[in-house]
Chain A
Amino acid sequence: MKNFIQVGGAEEEQVEQIKKWWNSYGKQIIAGAVIGLSGIWGWNTYSDYQDKQSLNARSLYLSFASDSNNLGAYDKLTTDFSSSSYTDQAILLMAKYLFDAGSYTQALGVIKPLINNSSSVIATTAALRVASIYLQLGQHDQALLILEGQSDDGFSGLIYNLMGDIYLDLGNRTEAQKYYSLAINNVTENSNLTQLIQIKLDDLN
Chain B
Amino acid sequence: MLEAIRKKSKGWVAYLIVGLIAVPFALFGVQQYFSGSSNSVIAIVDGEDITVNNYYQEFNTQQRNLQQQLGSSYSTEIDNALRQTLIDTLINEKLLENFTNSMKLVTLDEEVRSLIQSNPVFQVDGIFSEDRYIQILRLNNFTPLGYELEQSKSMSLDQIKRNLNNSAFLSTVQIEQLNDLSSQQREVSFVVLNTEKYQDQIVVNQEQISEYFDNNKSKFIEGRKVQVDFVELSLDNIEQQIDPDNETLQKLYIENEDLYTNPEQRRAQHILLEKVSNASSILKEIKQGGDFSELARIHSKDITTSEIGGDLGLFERELMVPEFDKAVFDMNVGDISDVVKSDYGYHIIKLNEIQPATLQSFEEVEEQLLALHKKNVNQKALYDLQEELGNLAYEESIDVVSNQLDLELQTSDFFSELSTEYDEVFVSTAFSDVVFEDGENSDVIELSKDRFVVMSLANQQPERQKVLDEVEDQIVDILRNLGAKQLIDDLAQTISSSLTSGNTNQVNSLMSENNLEWNEVGWITRGSQLPFNVTSEVYKLSKPNSGEHTYHSQSVDASTTLVIDLKAVKLSEENKNSEIVDLYLTEENNELFLSLVNKLRNSAEIKVFSELL
Per the bound structure, the CA–CA distance linking A104 and B273 in Å amounts to: 55
CB-CB contacts of B180-199 with A at 8 A, as 1s and 0s? 01001000000000000000
Taking the complex as formed, is A79 at the interface, i.e. its CB lies under 8 A from any CB of chain B?
no
Per the bound structure, the CA–CA distance linking A136 and B540 in Å amounts to: 29
Taking the complex as formed, is A108 at the interface, i.e. its CB lies under 8 A from any CB of chain B?
no
| Residues A200 and B181 in contact in the complex (CB < 8 Å), given A121-B160, A124-B592, A154-B602 | yes
Taking the complex as formed, is A135 at the interface, i.e. its CB lies under 8 A from any CB of chain B?
yes
Contact status A36-B24, CB under 8 Å: yes
Contact status B15-A96, CB under 8 Å: no
Per the bound structure, the CA–CA distance linking A154 and B456 in Å amounts to: 60
Taking the complex as formed, is B170 at the interface, i.e. its CB lies under 8 A from any CB of chain A?
yes
CB-CB contacts of A161-191 with B at 8 A, as 1s and 0s? 0000100110000000000000000011001
Contact status B588-A193, CB under 8 Å: yes
CB distance from A121 to the nearest CB of B (A): 5
Q: Which residues of B contact A133 (CB under 8 A)?
A: 171
Contact status B19-A28, CB under 8 Å: yes
Q: Which residues of A contact B587 (CB under 8 A)?
A: 192-193, 196
Taking the complex as formed, is A12 at the interface, i.e. its CB lies under 8 A from any CB of chain B?
no
Q: Which of A32, A35, A119, A202 contacts B539 (CB 8 A)?
A: A202
Per the bound structure, the CA–CA distance linking A40 and B24 in Å amounts to: 8
> Number of B residues contacting the other chain (C-beta, 8 Å)?
54
Contact status A155-B104, CB under 8 Å: no
Nearest-CB residue, chain A, relative to B540: A202
Contact status B164-A62, CB under 8 Å: no
Contact status A132-B169, CB under 8 Å: yes
CB distance from A57 to the nearest CB of B (A): 8
Contact status B169-A203, CB under 8 Å: no
Q: Which residues of B contact A106 (CB under 8 A)?
A: none
Contact status B16-A31, CB under 8 Å: yes
> Between A and B, how many residue pairs show CB distances below 8 Å?
154
Taking the complex as formed, is A78 at the interface, i.e. its CB lies under 8 A from any CB of chain B?
no
Q: Which residues of A contact B594 (CB under 8 A)?
A: 188, 191
| Residues A155 and B10 in contact in the complex (CB < 8 Å), given A93-B167, A165-B177 | no
Contact status A89-B104, CB under 8 Å: no
Contact status B174-A132, CB under 8 Å: yes
Contact status A50-B104, CB under 8 Å: yes
Taking the complex as formed, is B542 at the interface, i.e. its CB lies under 8 A from any CB of chain A?
yes
Per the bound structure, the CA–CA distance linking A188 and B105 in Å amounts to: 24
Q: Which of A54, A99, A129 contacts B104 (CB 8 A)?
A: A54
Taking the complex as formed, is B598 at the interface, i.e. its CB lies under 8 A from any CB of chain A?
yes
CB distance from B591 to the nearest CB of A (A): 5
| Residues A32 and B181 in contact in the complex (CB < 8 Å), given A54-B104, A157-B591 | no
The main secondary structure of chain B at its interface with chain A is: helix
Q: Which of A85, A154, A158 contacts B598 (CB 8 A)?
A: A154
Taking the complex as formed, is A11 at the interface, i.e. its CB lies under 8 A from any CB of chain B?
no
Contact status B22-A61, CB under 8 Å: no
Q: Which residues of B contact A158 (CB under 8 A)?
A: 588, 591-592, 595
Q: Which residues of B contact A187 (CB under 8 A)?
A: 591, 595
Contact status B591-A25, CB under 8 Å: no
Q: Which of A29, A36, A125 contacts B15 (CB 8 A)?
A: A29
Q: Which residues of A contact B108 (CB under 8 A)?
A: 55, 58-59, 62
CB-CB contacts of A63-89 with B at 8 A, as 1s and 0s? 001000000000000000000111001
Taking the complex as formed, is B12 at the interface, i.e. its CB lies under 8 A from any CB of chain A?
yes
Contact status A205-B540, CB under 8 Å: yes
Taking the complex as formed, is A115 at the interface, i.e. its CB lies under 8 A from any CB of chain B?
no
Q: Which of A115-141 contact B (CB under 8 A)?
A: 119-121, 124-125, 129, 132-133, 135-136
Which residues of chain A have a CB within 8 Å of any CB of chain B? Answer: 3, 24-25, 28-33, 35-37, 40, 50-51, 54-55, 57-59, 61-62, 65, 84-86, 89, 92-93, 95-96, 99-100, 119-121, 124-125, 129, 132-133, 135-136, 152, 154-155, 157-158, 165, 168-169, 187-188, 191-193, 196, 199-200, 202-203, 205
Q: Please name the 10 residue pairs, one residue from A and one from B, whose CB atoms are nearest each other, closest first.
A: A32-B19, A36-B23, A154-B599, A92-B167, A136-B171, A205-B542, A188-B594, A29-B19, A93-B167, A85-B103
